[in-house]
Each structure stands twice: as C-alpha cells, then as structure tokens.
C-alpha cells in the first residue's frame, strides 16, 4: 500500500461529506416578492365573470384580513387548489380572486365545475396587477391585512397542510 | 397491463442483476465450484439487457398512446402533442430519463457480456460483477424512489404536459446523447475495476476497453456540441458556453474520457501507465455520476435546474458514495500491487501523451473546483458565482501548453525519440504560430488569449495533417485517420472560439421602423415590429432586412416572447449563416419614445466551433471502425490458425491415405 493512492479517496470523502451536509442543510427557496410588508398598490379591475363584482384595492381595506388569490381557469394547479380555497372559505375567510388572462365563459365554467370560493373576481387581462404585486405565476395567494398591506405570499397551489398555516397567518395579522 | 408488464420486467432485471453479481463473485474464487456458478453471469447480463430495454419500450408505447392511467404520462404528456414530442416526452422527465439511463446501462452490460471473448475469465467475472452492482443501484433508485410505471388511482382526463418550451427538437435529442456517453463510461469503469480486482491490467484489457471509451466519448462530444449550439441560439445572449454547473458537469466527464482515451492507447500499445489508466477509468464515471447528482439534487443553482429533488439527491449521493467511494478504496488498497509497466523517455510519444494527460486532468480539476466552489462557500453562508473570469484564464494556463504538445506529440516515436529528428516539423509549426501572433497583433488590439488561440488553432490544424507526410495515403490505418480528424477538429473548434472572441462585432441601437444600421459590411434595416400570439405566449416580432455588401436583402424575424404560465420572457434570436460566420439578431424592449432596442452581432467563423465538434466525433467514429475491424480480422486469423492446427493434428492422427495412382 502506498499513501499516495489514498489521496483520491480522501478528496472524494471530503466532497461527499460536503455534499451531504449541503443536501441536509441546503436551501430550496423560491424568490419571494419584494412587495411583502408593503401596501397593496392601487388598482381597480373589472368583473371577470357575470354575477360576481370586480375587485379593487378598496375591497381589501377594513374588516378582517383577506386572501388575494391569483389564478386562471386555464391553470391546472388551480384545479388542485380549489378544495383548499373552499375549505378556507368555510372557515370564514374572504377570498378575492384575480383571474389572469381569462375569458368570462371559461371562468364561469371553472366555477361551475370546481366550486366558487370567491366573493369577487377581478379580470387582469394583461397581468398588470400580477406583476405589480410580484407574483411570478399562477396560482399564488397573498394575505392582505385590514390596512391593505401585503403580509404574506404563498407561491404555488395551496396544499391541504397549508390551510392551517394560512389560517394562523390570517389570525396573526389581524 | 402495460405498466404492470414494464414494472415486472424491471423487477426481473433487478433479480438478474443480483444473480450476475453473485455469479461473477463466485467466479473469482477460482475453484471448480466457483467456475460452475460463474457461467450464469453472462446470460444474466444478456437477458437483463433485454428486460430493461423492454421496460423502456413499454414506457415509450405508453407515451405513444397517451395512457393517462399512468401518472408519469398524465403529468408529462398530452393527447394533442405531436407524435414526435409524445415520444421524446418519455425521457423529458426524471423517471423516464432514469429508465432510459438504466436501459442503456443494461444494454451496454449485455453487449459486453455477449460479445467480449478476449478477456481472461477472472477479469471478465469481476467486470460483470461490478457492472451488475452498478446496475443494481440504479434499479433500486428507479423502483424505490422514482417508479416510472406508477398508476393513478383514477385515470386523468387529460395530460398536463403541453409546455411548448419543452417541444424543441434540440432539447429532445441532446439529453439522451449525453446519457449514452455517461453510461458508456460505466462499462469502462466496470472493466477498470474488474482488471484491478483480478490484478490483470494488461494491454489486452486496454484493447477491450478502448472501443467502449471511444464510443462513450463520441456521444459525449456530440451531446456537448449539440447542447452548446442549443444554448447559443435559444438563450439569445450571443454566447455559446456559460460555465454553468450543468454545462460543466457534461464537460468534466468529457475531459476525463479524453484523458482516458489517450492513456488507454498507451496501455494497449506500450503496456505503460497501468495505474493511471485505472484511475482515469474510475474518474470518468465518477464525473458522470457527479454530474447527475449536481443536476438532480439542486445543491447548486443552475439555469438548467430540472427535476430538482433533495430526496433523490440523497439517493444519488448514496450511490455515488457506494460506487466511487468503494472504487477509490479498492484502488487505494490494490493500486500498489500493480506495477507501473514499461518505462519510456520523456521525449517520446508516451511522454507527450502523459504530459497532455496531466494537462487535461489539471483542466478537469480547475473546472471541478470552479463548479464545486459555490457549494463549499455556501456551507459557510457566502454566496459566490464563479464565471468566465476564473475559468477562461485558469483553463488557458494548461490548455496552451497542451495544444503545443498536441501539435508535436503524434509525430514522435514510441519509447524514445530525438526532437532533432523533427526539426522541419517543429520549425514549421513554430513559424506558423509566431507569424500569426505577430500578424494579428499588428492588425489590431485583441485579447492575448484570443490571439494565442488563433495562432495555436492554425498551427495545430497544420500539425494535425503532418502525420500523413511521407506516407502512402491509401495505406494509412483508419484509426490514424480517426486521430487526424479528431485533432484537426480540435483546431477547427479552437479557431472558431478564438475568432468569435477576437473579431465579433456588436451593435446595440435604438431604432424606429424604416431606419438602417451598419455593422461591418452588413446593412440592417428594421422594416416593422408586429405583435403576434402563440398557444401560451405573446410576442413582438421584428421584420429586419439584412444585406451584405449591397447584396440581395434577406428578411429575418427575431422575437421577444412572453410566456404567461409560468410568466417568463424569452428571446428568439434570428440567425443568418454564411460560410465565414453568423449574423445574430435579437429584439429587445421598446423605449418610452417608441424606439426598439435592436442588438446585432456579426460573429466571424463562430460556426467552426460546432463543425469542429462534429469533426472530433467523426474522428472517434473512424477510430472505432478501424479498431473493431482490425480486431475482427485478428479474431478471424486466430480462428483460422486454430482450425488449421486442429486439421493438421487430425490429419497426422488419421491413417495415411493410399497414394493416388
């Protein structure tokens, strides 16, 4: 045995240790919106579907903290998210939807099929509000407090185990 | 039925891998009982290859008919996709690509087991055991953490994989090409370990290993060439290599394989560099696995981040520790018992090959360090990004001497040579290089690396052809042609890189439709900018008329696209290819005053980068054909000789016939 032949093994073990450490303690974050803890921008969007009013900044001010849900009828994770929004609604949370690049008949069809958790849906046909509040895609959900400030951002669809967490955050910002 | 058949085939293949290991290990005992059990290793590998390929074929079929009861199909395909992209979708995801990996692995193992007859049985048994062991780990990975045949409890109504970003022919072909390369190196790894365990590191072993290394290397070369061109035209930054971790993880196995290729030739021809060849065999496959780990685990941030999952990362890291750690441990213990082989003088062909092997390994170390450095600093919460300012000069320090030695090395004789014998060749190469350096330096103010690159490329291009001097062209062996093509390809590629970096002209202008810009001898007129819409994107498309030196104008249409699911802006560049370069145009944003940002490059000889890559691959293919042909001839001659001897023996034993009247 010659010590020199152990050098590759030693180097490899060092790398494997480092990689293992980084896997356990690594970061798997997404990029959060820079708008968190800032006031919701001024906006006013027309109704996205017949029978529900449109949405504006004023709808968020006053009362209880609310959820702003950025979604679209053409978005498949939004279908997966629908039961969780329904559950949040049953807990008494007001959810205001922003439909991105959508058509009224598609929105109506989506609500018929997967239920309607929304009190209002604004139509954002050119992704204007979506970009202003720093949402990178659909679906995303923002917690807005009663002063109209953005307090939390949830990226991606809301899974079943996210519901209690969101309820807790809504409670905390009250 | 389909999914269950596929799954069953995979489980059976796994069982056969276990049999292959057991049988191969028994064969190492060297007694009668061991030999009796060792006969199962080869058939196990062959049948296993059939089963793994069958499993992949079944998944391919499921994608072709869009079987939405299979989770993988439902999440990655769509009934409306064109057939070609349905099929390529099979490996456009983690599970499918791992199944492809395993299928190619088993197929290579089966081919090795079925065709290879030259190796001593001890080495062969050890090799098959190692190959089975590698395969077993990947079967376990597939079956335990990424089952491609998982069913949905309720079949989906429609698939969700209609992402047009992934419907690109380049993207469909480039990953499997690289995979074949990575997996081909697994055979080299198994052979190296087999020879090390059996302590039979011989020229015969090197001759068996060489076609596998060449084969893997050709695919890696093609994969990297295709990937580089794809990044060049698709990402719209005008660059062709970004030193991104994922790119680096395909370059590192290539560097190791290139070094291995040359050292295995020394071992085959001269019986030298035994331990070094084994080390490189382990290293090349380690780099493939390391690449897989870096890409799939998400420990490094990359523009390619694809199928990132820390759990899978842990599994691959475990396999990496098992195989590479194990192999290096065996190497550490065993390598001392293998003598270094024949000695040679520094000024000989072996000497040149060793020098370049060291240079290649140094470049590999630099790329590896640059790629892993962010991982190291992030452990201390410091985020860094290592880019061209590190890789280019650090790599060049070793690449420049390597190119010089590469020009002269093939002219040297084996074992010992006097440089004085090559006075003419060396002075020719030096004169060409020096005159180009001075010429370019007089013409303009270019970066030192670009100037050296140009000079070395042209000198190397001439030097690559010099081995033909004084030889009868028709009698040059095919393998030598392979070397000439590959070395000439390196020169062509280097010329493209240096020319692109030295002579690229760039024009960034804010223009209104109707206005004309000048770039070199190109006349560029923006005709109009119009909005257009695609299935899930909108774009502005510029119509630009370009003409060269007053010639006929050509209309090109670069686009700036906005995807909205997920929200993402991409640039669709427009290219005009001429023999001496490419015009590259990108349209940017509209300024407040209504003018459009237009960015145009003229890149002289940039296409040579990829032509060079193709020439290098062609060289590899010629070399494989040449080697295999010589081998088959030899095998034929050995067989005939044996028959003749047997005939003679039979004749001499037979009763003498009566002499004819």
Q: Do B549 and B510 fall into the same domain? A: yes
Q: Do B521 and B477 fall into the same domain? A: no
Q: How far is B365 from chain A (nearest CA, A)?
A: 12
The angle that helices B326-334 and B274-297 make with each other, rounded to 10 degrees, is 160
Closest CA to B285 of B424, B137, B439: B137
Asked whether the CA dihedral A134, A139, A144, A148 is positive or negative, the reply is: positive
CB B574 within 8 A of CB B543: no
- Is residue B364 assigned to a domain? no
Per-residue pLDDT of B495-540, as tens digits, reads 999 999 888 888 888 888 888 888 888 889 988 888 888 766 778 8
CA–CA gap between residue B541 and residue B558 (Å, rounded) = 6
Q: Do B587 and B613 fall into the same domain? A: no
Per-residue pLDDT of A87-133, as tens digits, reads 999 989 999 999 988 888 889 988 988 889 999 999 988 888 888 88
Number of domains in chain B: 3
Residue B98 has pLDDT above 90, yes or no: no
Q: Do B620 and B528 fall into the same domain? A: no
CB atoms within 10 A of CB B205: 27
Architecture of the domain defined by A44-172: 3-Layer(aba) Sandwich (3.40)
Looking at chain A, which residue has its C-alpha nearest residue B538? A126
Residue B305 has pLDDT above 50, yes or no: no
- How much is the average pLDDT of B123-142? 91
Closest CA to B258 of B377, B161, B169, B356: B356
Residue B257 has pLDDT above 80, yes or no: yes
Q: Do B624 and B567 fall into the same domain? A: no
How is B94-149 classified by DSSP, letter by letter? Answer: HHHHHHHHHHHHHHHHHHHHHH--SS-HHHHHHHHHHHHHHHHHHHHHHHHH--TT
- Is residue B66 assigned to a domain? yes
Q: Do B435 and B471 fall into the same domain? A: yes
The verdict on A5 touching B (C-beta cutoff 8 Å) is yes
CB atoms within 10 A of CB B410: 17
Q: Do B149 and B40 fall into the same domain? A: yes
- How much is the average pLDDT of B288-307? 66
CB atoms within 10 A of CB B362: 18
First to last CA, chain B: 75
Q: Which of residues 32-71 of A touch B (CB under 8 A)?
A: none
- Is residue B19 assigned to a domain? yes
Per-residue pLDDT of B366-400, as tens digits, reads 999 998 888 888 777 777 778 888 898 899 999 99
- Is residue B374 assigned to a domain? no
**What residues of A are in contact with residue B332 (Cβ under 8 Å)?**
1, 5-6, 8-9
Q: How far is B310 from chain A (nearest CA, A)?
A: 6
**What residues of B are in contact with residue A72 (Cβ under 8 Å)?**
565
Q: Is B336 in Cβ contact with A2 (below 8 Å)? A: yes
B480 burial (CB, 10 Å; 0-12 / 13-18 / 19+) is middle
**Lowest mean pLDDT segment, chosen from A160-169, B167-176, B505-514:** B167-176
Q: Do B494 and B526 fall into the same domain? A: no
CA–CA gap between residue B509 and residue B85 (Å, rounded) = 38
Q: Do B473 and B520 fall into the same domain? A: no
CA–CA gap between residue B596 and residue B432 (Å, rounded) = 46
CB A101 within 8 A of CB A72: yes
Q: Is A101 in Cβ contact with B317 (below 8 Å)? A: no
Last residue of a domain, one of B125, B149, B167: B167
- Residue where the block lists tokens 């560029």: B524
- How much is the average pLDDT of B229-247? 81
Q: Do B31 and B117 fall into the same domain? A: yes
pLDDT band at B616 (very low <50, low <70, confident <90, very high): very high
CB B86 within 8 A of CB B133: no
Q: Is A138 in Cβ contact with B310 (below 8 Å)? A: no
Q: Do B514 and B623 fall into the same domain? A: no
Phi, psi (degrees; rounded to nearest 5) at B524: -120, 115
CA–CA gap between residue B658 and residue B661 (Å, rounded) = 9
DSSP state of B321: I
Closest CA to B54 of B99, B91, B17, B18: B99
CA–CA gap between residue B41 and residue B21 (Å, rounded) = 7
pLDDT band at B401 (very low <50, low <70, confident <90, very high): very high
How is B1-22 classified by DSSP, letter by letter? Answer: -HHHHHHHHHHHHHHHHHHHHH
Size of interface A-B (CB pairs under 8 A): 82
Of the partner residues B325, B329, B375, the one whose CB lies closest to the CB of residue A22: B375
Residue B302 has pLDDT above 60, yes or no: no
Last residue of a domain, one of B149, B167, B185: B167
Last residue of a domain, one of B135, B152, B167: B167
Asked whether the CA dihedral B574, B495, B175, B48 is positive or negative, the reply is: positive
- Is residue B266 assigned to a domain? no
**What residues of A are in contact with residue B325 (Cβ under 8 Å)?**
9, 12-13, 16
Token pair listed for B569: 């802006």
Q: What is the mean pLDDT of chain B?
A: 85
Provide the percentage of residues in chain B whose pLDDT is more than 70: 94
Domain carrying residue B123: 1-167
Task: Give how far the C-alpha of residue B5 lies from the chain's centroid of Cα atoms, to the nearest Å.
Answer: 32
């Amino acid at each position: 045995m010659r010590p020199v032949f152990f050098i590759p093994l030693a180097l490899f073990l060092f790398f494997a240790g480092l990689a293992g450490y980084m896997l356990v303690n690594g970061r798997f974050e997404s990029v959060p919106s820079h708008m968190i803890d800032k006031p919701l921008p001024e906006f006013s969007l027309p109704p996205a579907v017949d029978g529900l009013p449109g949405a504006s900044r004023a709808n968020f001010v006053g009362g209880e903290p609310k959820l702003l849900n950025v979604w679209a009828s053409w978005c498949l994770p939004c279908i997966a998210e629908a039961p969780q929004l329904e559950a949040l609604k049953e807990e008494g949370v007001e959810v205001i939807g922003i439909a991105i690049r959508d058509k009224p008949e598609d929105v109506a069809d989506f609500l018929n099929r997967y239920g309607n958790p929304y009190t209002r849906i604004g139509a954002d046909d050119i992704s204007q509000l979506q970009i202003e509040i720093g949402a990178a895609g659909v679906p995303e959900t923002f917690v807005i407090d009663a002063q109209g400030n953005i307090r939390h951002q949830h990226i991606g669809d809301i899974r079943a185990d996210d519901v209690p967490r969101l309820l807790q955050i809504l409670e905390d910002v009250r | 039925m389909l999914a269950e058949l596929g799954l069953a085939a995979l489980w059976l293949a796994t069982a056969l891998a276990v049999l292959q290991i057991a049988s191969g290990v028994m064969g190492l005992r060297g007694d009668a009982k061991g030999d009796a059990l060792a006969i199962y290793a080869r058939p196990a590998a062959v049948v296993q290859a059939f089963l793994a390929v069958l499993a992949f074929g079944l998944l391919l079929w499921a994608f072709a008919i869009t079987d939405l009861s299979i989770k993988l199909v439902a999440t990655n395909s769509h009934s409306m996709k064109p057939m070609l992209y349905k099929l390529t979708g099979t490996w456009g995801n983690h599970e499918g690509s791992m199944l492809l990996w395993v299928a190619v692995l088993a197929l290579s193992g089966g081919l090795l087991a079925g065709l290879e007859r030259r190796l001593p049985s001890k080495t062969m048994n050890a090799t098959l055991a190692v190959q089975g062991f590698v395969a077993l780990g990947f079967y376990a990975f597939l079956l335990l953490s990424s089952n491609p045949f998982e069913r949905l409890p309720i079949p989906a109504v429609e698939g969700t994989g209609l992402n047009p970003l992934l419907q690109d022919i380049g993207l469909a072909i480039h990953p499997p090409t690289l995979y074949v390369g990575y997996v081909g190196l697994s055979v080299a790894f198994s052979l190296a370990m087999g020879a090390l365990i059996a302590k039979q590191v011989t020229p015969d072993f090197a001759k068996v290993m060489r076609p596998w290394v060449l084969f893997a290397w050709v695919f890696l070369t093609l994969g990297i060439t295709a990937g580089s061109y794809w990044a060049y035209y698709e990402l719209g930054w005008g660059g062709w290599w970004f030193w991104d971790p994922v790119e680096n993880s395909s370059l590192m196995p290539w560097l190791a394989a290139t070094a291995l290729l040359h050292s295995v030739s020394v071992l085959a021809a001269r019986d030298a560099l035994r331990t070094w060849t084994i080390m490189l065999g382990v290293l090349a496959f380690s780099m493939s696995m390391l690449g897989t780990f870096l890409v799939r685990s998400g420990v490094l941030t990359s523009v390619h981040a694809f199928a990132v999952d820390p759990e899978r990362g842990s599994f691959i890291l475990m396999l990496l520790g098992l195989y590479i750690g194990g192999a290096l441990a065996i190497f550490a213990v065993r390598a001392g018992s293998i003598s270094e082989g024949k000695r040679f003088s520094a000024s000989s062909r072996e000497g040149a090959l060793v020098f370049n092997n060291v240079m290649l390994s140094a470049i590999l170390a630099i790329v590896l360090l640059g790629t892993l450095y962010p991982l190291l600093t992030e452990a201390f919460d410091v985020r860094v990004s290592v880019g061209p300012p590190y890789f280019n000069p650090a790599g060049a320090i070793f690449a420049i001497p390597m190119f010089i030695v590469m020009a002269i090395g093939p002219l040297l004789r084996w074992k010992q040579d006097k440089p004085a014998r090559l006075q003419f060749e060396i002075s020719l190469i030096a004169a060409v290089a020096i005159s180009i350096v001075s010429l370019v330096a007089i013409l303009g103010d270019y970066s030192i690396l670009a100037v050296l690159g140009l000079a070395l490329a042209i000198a190397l291009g001439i030097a690559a052809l010099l081995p033909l001097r004084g030889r009868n062209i028709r009698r040059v062996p095919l393998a030598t042609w392979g070397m000439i093509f590959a070395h000439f390809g390196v020169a062509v590629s280097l010329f493209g890189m240096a020319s692109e970096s030295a002579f690229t002209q760039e024009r960034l202008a804010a223009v209104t439709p109707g206005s004309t810009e000048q770039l070199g001898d190109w006349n560029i007129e923006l005709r109009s900018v119009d909005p257009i819409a695609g299935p899930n994107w909108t774009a502005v498309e510029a119509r630009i008329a370009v003409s060269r030196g007053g010639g006929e104008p050509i209309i090109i249409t670069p686009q700036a696209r906005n995807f909205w699911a997920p929200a993402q802006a991409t640039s669709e560049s427009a290219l005009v290819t001429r023999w001496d370069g490419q015009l590259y145009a990108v349209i940017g944003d509209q300024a407040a005053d209504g003018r459009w940002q237009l960015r145009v490059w003229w890149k002289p000889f940039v296409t040579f980068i990829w032509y060079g890559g193709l020439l290098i691959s062609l060289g590899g293919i010629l070399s494989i054909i040449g080697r295999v042909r010589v081998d088959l001839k030899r095998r034929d001659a050995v067989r005939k000789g044996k028959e003749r001897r047997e005939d003679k023996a039979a004749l001499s034993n037979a009763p003498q016939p009566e002499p004819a009247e």
